[in-house]
Amino acid sequence: MTSLVRPRRFQTEAELNVVCRLLGWSPRETAWGIRAGSVPLRDLRTGEFVLFVSHISTGVELPISSFFLLLLEDFGLQLQHLTPHSILLTSIFVHLCEMFVGVRPCVILFRYFFVLVKSGKSNDEVGAYYFQIRNDLQTPYIPGLTGGKWADWRREWMNADVRLVMLTEGPASDRQSWRAKPSLPSAFDPVLSKIRTLAKSGLTSLYVLGDFLKRRIAPLKQRPRPAWSFTRPQDCSRSHRGEDSDLTQESLEVVVRAVTGEIFVPEHLILPQGVVPLCEDSSLRAAVLATLPTLDDGGLASR
């Protein structure tokens, strides 16, 4: 293992408590599912995976969503194989689908827009793979982020328990299958049309990022309902609840700059005119949901 991927291990309860606060766990909640990362990455217990602290700021919380687990399984990945920027890209895709399009995220739609790439600079499995937007898209996707530098993100980690889900040990070696573009059924046409309209209206990944950060939604967490049903500060989908749990402008600036590497401009998080989060307009939400297919983690849901 090279020095680039040798983590600084969380050794004390105090340090684990910091992680619990980031996850939104109250002092009365037990830190189920995490333990200090004091063993080699290859020496995990059955059902465990490596959770880096950077993952929390990119939209991963426990328990991990069934969609994201299925996406990892589809590529034969573990969470630690992906760069933080790729995980953030996935979070933005999920929130785009739920809050602005009006469908649940699914693997086939993700693979329509993105491919998996192996970094040529790394021989390690940690952070050696990343998602990239396809260059042959007929339907435009919303503009992405340039990506932060994520300095030393490999140094702060712990072990997490996925309970009954056990993923494969490493990515599949068939890179041709990574790039295979799925053929979407005609039922996806209104979904692609909605994404095209949002892109033309000026919606960007930065806007989507700002929306889920302000609402304290972790897109890659298993939540009781989709983002379009979000209601208020006590909403059950929030990672941190309560009237005083919103990020301050200063905290929001820190998070946005950390995950994007860009200078924070508050005005850049104001949605373009005509783009409305579905949770804020019940009539619009009902009309949109009525025109779109029902999706599950894999694709079209059985009726």
Instruction: Judge whether 67 lies within some domain.
Output: yes
More confident residue, 126 or 202: 202
pLDDT for position 173: 55
CA-CA distances (angstroms) from residue 232 to 140, 237, 246, 279?
A: 32, 10, 11, 10
Q: What are phi and psi of 168, to 5 degrees?
A: -70, 165
Give the residue-averaged pLDDT of 233-242.
75
% of the chain beyond a pLDDT of 70:
70
What span, in angstroms and rounded, lies between the C-alpha atoms of 142 and 106? 17
Decide if 123 contacts 78 (C-beta within 8 A).
Answer: no
**Range(s) of the domain holding residue 79:** 61-155+165-291
**What does the pLDDT look like over 125-169, one tens digit per residue?**
777 889 999 988 888 999 988 665 566 666 655 555 443 333 444
pLDDT for position 260: 80
For residue 224, how many other CB atoms are within 10 A of its CB?
8
The answer to whether residue 214 scores a pLDDT higher than 90 is: no
Instruction: Judge whether 169 lies within some domain.
Output: yes
More confident residue, 138 or 16: 138
Residue 3 CA neighbour count, 13 Å, CB half: 0
Number of domains in the chain: 1
pLDDT band at 1 (very low <50, low <70, confident <90, very high): very low
Instruction: Judge whether 16 lies within some domain.
Output: no
Give the residue-averaged pLDDT of 59-79.
89
What span, in angstroms and rounded, lies between the C-alpha atoms of 222 and 239? 11
pLDDT for position 168: 41
For residue 14, how many other CB atoms are within 10 A of its CB?
8
Instruction: Judge whether 20 lies within some domain.
Output: no
Both tokens assigned to 185: 């059924």
For residue 34, how many other CB atoms are within 10 A of its CB?
19
What span, in angstroms and rounded, lies between the C-alpha atoms of 225 and 202? 27
Instruction: Judge whether 89 lies within some domain.
Output: yes
> Which range among 3-7, 30-34, 48-52, 107-111 has the greatest average pLDDT?
107-111
Instruction: Judge whether 45 lies within some domain.
Output: no
Residue ranges of alpha helices (H) inside the chain are 13-22, 53-57, 66-75, 84-95, 107-113, 175-179, 189-200, 205-214, 249-260, 282-291
> Which range among 41-50, 206-215, 255-264 has the greatest average pLDDT?
206-215
With CA atoms as reference, report the closest residue to 52 among 22, 75, 12, 94: 22
pLDDT band at 81 (very low <50, low <70, confident <90, very high): confident
The single-letter DSSP state of residue 21 is H
The answer to whether residue 88 scores a pLDDT higher than 90 is: yes
**What does the pLDDT look like over 29-50, one tens digit per residue?**
555 566 665 545 556 666 666 7
Instruction: Judge whether 303 lies within some domain.
Output: no
Give the residue-averaged pLDDT of 284-296.
95
DSSP of 131-178, one letter per residue? EEE-SS-SSPPPP-------TTGGGEEEEEE-TT----SS--S-HHHH
Give the chain's mean pLDDT: 79
Both tokens assigned to 143: 């503009």
> Which range among 4-13, 107-116, 171-180 has the greatest average pLDDT?
107-116
